[in-house]
Amino acid sequence: MSKRIQIPSGTALGILGISLALLGALPTGTQAAKFKVLDFWGVGGYAHTSRTTANTYLDTLGKTMDFELTKTEDVKAFTTENLAQYKVVVLNNSTELGKILDTTQRSALMAFMKVKGVIAWHASGDVKGTWPEYTTYLGSELSSHGAGIATVRRDPAGAGHPAAGSLDTGRFDEEWYAYKTNPRLAPNVTVLYTLDESSCNNCTPAMGDHPIVWVRDTPTGGRLFYSGMGHMDAIFQKVALTRALYKQAMDWTAGTTAPIRQTVLSRKSAEDMTIRTFGSRLEVDLTGGGDHFLGIGTLDGRVIAERSGHGPMHYAFPDLDPAAVYTLTATTQGGHSVRLVR
Q: Per-residue confidence at 289, pLDDT binned at 50, 70, 90?
A: low
CA–CA separation, 101 and 103 (whole Å): 7
For residue 266, what pLDDT band results from cuts at 50, 70 and 90? Answer: very low
Report which of residues 1 and 322 the model is more confident about: 322
Task: Name the helix (H) or strand (E) containing 191.
Answer: strand 189-196
Domains of the chain, with CATH numbers?
12-26+259-341 (2.60.40), 35-254 (3.40.50.880)
Q: What amino acid is encoded at 236 in this protein?
A: F
Looking at per-residue confidence, does 319 or 180 come out higher?
180
Residue 48 has pLDDT above 50, yes or no: yes
Estimate the crossing angle of helix 50-65 against helix 240-254, to 10 degrees.
Answer: 60
Say yes or no to pLDDT of 264 above 70: no
Q: How far apart are the first and last CA of the chain?
A: 18
Instruction: Name the more confident of 264 and 89.
Output: 89
Report how far residue 16's alpha carbon sits from residue 327's, in angstroms, rounded to the nearest whole number: 6
Distance between CA 2 and CA 25 in Å, rounded? 26
Could you give the maximum distance between any two Cα atoms of the chain, in Å?
A: 64
* C-alpha R_g of the chain: 21
pLDDT tens, residue by residue, 205-216: 889 999 999 999
Q: How far apart are CA 324 and CA 157, in angstroms?
A: 25
Quick check: 3 and 302 in contact, CB under 8 A? yes
Contact 190, 183 (CB under 8 A): no
